[in-house]
Structure 1
Amino acid sequence: MTAVTVVTADIGGFPAGMKAHPLVIERAAQVLKKEHGGLIVDSFVTRVGGRLACIFTHQDDPRIADLVDRVMVECRTLATGFGLVGHGEAGRADLSVESGEGVLVFLSSGAGGGAWSEVLARIFADPYTTPALVDDPLLHRGFAFTCSDGGVYPTPSGAYDLLQHIRGGASVVKVEGPEKTVATAGTGADPALLLGTGRGCPPVAGVLAAVAASGLMPVSLCDAVPVCTKAVCLGFGVHDGMLIGPADLFDDPAFTPR
């Protein structure tokens, strides 16, 4: 298994937080690149609106937290030199995947905390959104949703309680299937979401459609300026720890408003 981590942070963008500075993105990429072949295996760094987004693969190691802190410190120091000051803390999500499988990295822009909670409920608990919940024997066994306050809700039996809990202000941070964790979501403003694409996970096309229908505007990475609530999806293959991609999956005419 390979651990995939996404870290996003409001380092400070221009003007008024619209876009992260390219030199800040470059600095984060440089810090992570130095750890290739050691603490981490591979990395990809980008921006979503005014937020820095770092995606990397690694094995479980407590030093990863120190690496994330180092990236944040160096990038904030550089951004401050340009007069850019962010207002949000870093958010993080981790998901383990098998070699040869894939992972969808959803990034949000202009979204509030818990932006993925009802989306995850639709993907993993609503058979009208995901027909594979009925047709696929493994998905048919249901999923367990863990919320930010520690509450755990098995579905389909606990679907109503889950929705009531989400609408009461709790956020879904993890979804577990019968064999493995299939999705994890970050916390705070503009949270990220990691969702597996292998065995026991819903079809990718259905997942994309569910996100597109959620109220988050699906856009390509270059269009993720936070003038309204937007979602970006970067799809990666994972092979021996290497990130294959990304594919900018919302950069498609199917998601262009008509």
Structure 2
Amino acid sequence: MVTLSVIKADIGSLPGHVRAPSKLVDRVRGVLEDGKSDGVLIDYYVGCCGDDIDLVMSHDHGVDSEEVHSLAWDAFQEGTEFAKELGLYGAGQDLLSDAFSGNVKGLGPGSAEMEFDERESEPILVFLCDKTSPSAFNYPLFKMFADPFSTSGLVLDPSLHEGFDFEILDYYEGDTATLSCPEEMYDILSLLGIVSKYSIESVSKKDGRPAAVVSTEKLNLMAGEYVGKDDPVAVVRCQSGFPAVGEALEAFSFPHLVPGWMRGSHNGPLMPVSEEDATPTRFDGPPRVVALGFQLNNGKLEGPRDLFDDPSFNTARKKANEAAEYMRNHGPFQPHLLSEDELEYTTVPKVLEKLENRFK
């Protein structure tokens, strides 16, 4: 069995919320290299999407390993101290606690992990987002694993005909429900469209084999106020009983609207970009997604290939820019601004407190 863990955090950016500088990334990378030398990790890759640093780690310690999570925490803690030395913006922003408690859950960093038996050929896609929430993956994961107009293998490949199980999280209650597709497709859609409340946590084959997993930590619910975007990550297995790589990527060819963007308070298009272009600047956006492709080989990460670094996604990027222009022209009005219930977890209530006695 091999475990793939992707753990991310925003620990400092240059300037504002644009990009983690290379020397900060190098400092974090050094901690993981020590972990690999000590046998904690089989392999690793340190990626970036906007102001987030994303740790892609392979190992044999299973999900929620204290040893692996502790290594990631140490990397972010050391990186935070260095970010403070550099005077970076938001140094340690995503670290909501000073004390490590066995794993990073509830401490701020996002994590997506899966444990599985490695196939003879194991293609893995790692998606990194910036300036959005975990529900940003609701639409593309549904397209990948449930929509035959996007994934033709659901029609053409008998090994996909059984469909997949979707584990869906209710953010506010903290509960999950597992629904089967295609049998319960309409029930699944009735939840996934309510992106302020529900998010896909994982997708699996009917026999339990993991297909996809998403980081579902929401910083605002942890901290009780807006402290930063959630910037989720996801891991997707491809080929041989799963969607093909091209089918999985096709799900991002439409830049659907996602919550997040400036101050985590606006709807904007999710733009598929290369890692190099994951530097959101316009209104801290628009929201970005990066796709890194790996071949897992006895736990070693061969790659990555920067999969959105491809002119075939130029049309999607053009549409995203047009949608961003349209949404921005709404200014502080909905639907550009998020709904009132989502704004409850920003700093807007503090702004409104001074007006409460004015309403009579």
TM-score tier (shorter): over 0.9
- Single out whichever of 108-117 and 220-229 deviates more from structure 2: 108-117
2: CA distance, partners of 1:92 / 1:207: 21
Q: Does 1:58 align with 2:59?
A: yes
Tell me the CA shift for residue 40 of structure 1.
0.5
Tell me the CA shift for residue 90 of structure 1.
1.0
Tell me the CA shift for residue 214 of structure 1.
4.2
Pairing of 1:1-258 with structure 2 (within 5 A): 1-37=1-37, 38-61=39-62, 62=65, 63-84=67-88, 85-86=90-91, 87-88=93-94, 89-97=108-116, 98-99=118-119, 100-148=121-169, 149-168=175-194, 169-179=197-207, 180-187=209-216, 188=218, 189-215=230-256, 216-226=270-280, 227-257=285-315
In the alignment, residue 80 of structure 1 is paired with which amino acid? K
Aligned pairs, number: 258
2: CA distance, partners of 1:207 / 1:229: 19
2: CA distance, partners of 1:144 / 1:17: 36
Tell me the CA shift for residue 109 of structure 1.
1.8
1: CA distance, partners of 2:49 / 2:145: 26
In the alignment, residue 251 of structure 1 is paired with which amino acid? D
- Say which SS state the counterpart of residue 245 (structure 1) adopts: strand
2: CA distance, partners of 1:96 / 1:192: 16
- Single out whichever of 150-159 and 56-65 deviates more from structure 2: 56-65
- Say which SS state the counterpart of residue 233 (structure 1) adopts: strand
User: Over aligned residue pairs, what C-alpha RMSD do you find?
Assistant: 1.6
2: CA distance, partners of 1:190 / 1:65: 18
- Maintained 8 Å contact 1:118/1:163: no
In the alignment, residue 202 of structure 2 is paired with which amino acid? K
In the alignment, residue 95 of structure 1 is paired with which amino acid? M
Q: Percent identity?
A: 33
| Cα shift readout 1:90-128 (whole Å, capped 9, x = no counterpart) | 111112351531100111122223110121111111111
Comparing both structures, which one devotes a greater share of its residues to strand? 1
1: CA distance, partners of 2:58 / 2:10: 22
- Single out whichever of 46-55 and 89-98 deviates more from structure 2: 89-98
- Maintained 8 Å contact 1:92/1:192: yes
Runs of 4+ deviating beyond 6 Å: none
Which 5+ residue runs of structure 2 have no aligned equivalent? 95-107, 170-174, 219-229, 257-269, 319-360
Tell me the CA shift for residue 151 of structure 1.
1.2
Which 5+ residue runs of structure 1 have no aligned equivalent? none
Give 1 or 2 for the bigger CA radius of gyration: 2
1: CA distance, partners of 2:245 / 2:123: 10
Higher relative contact order (CA 8 A, sep 6+): 1
Scaled by the length of structure 1, what TM-score is found? 0.94
- Say which SS state the counterpart of residue 155 (structure 2) adopts: helix
- Maintained 8 Å contact 1:106/1:233: yes
- Maintained 8 Å contact 2:125/2:291: yes
- Maintained 8 Å contact 2:10/2:52: yes
- Maintained 8 Å contact 2:144/2:151: yes
2: CA distance, partners of 1:178 / 1:167: 23
2: CA distance, partners of 1:79 / 1:17: 13
- Say which SS state the counterpart of residue 36 (structure 2) adopts: coil
2: CA distance, partners of 1:137 / 1:214: 30
Scaled by the length of structure 2, what TM-score is found? 0.68
In the alignment, residue 310 of structure 2 is paired with which amino acid? D
- Maintained 8 Å contact 1:119/1:214: no
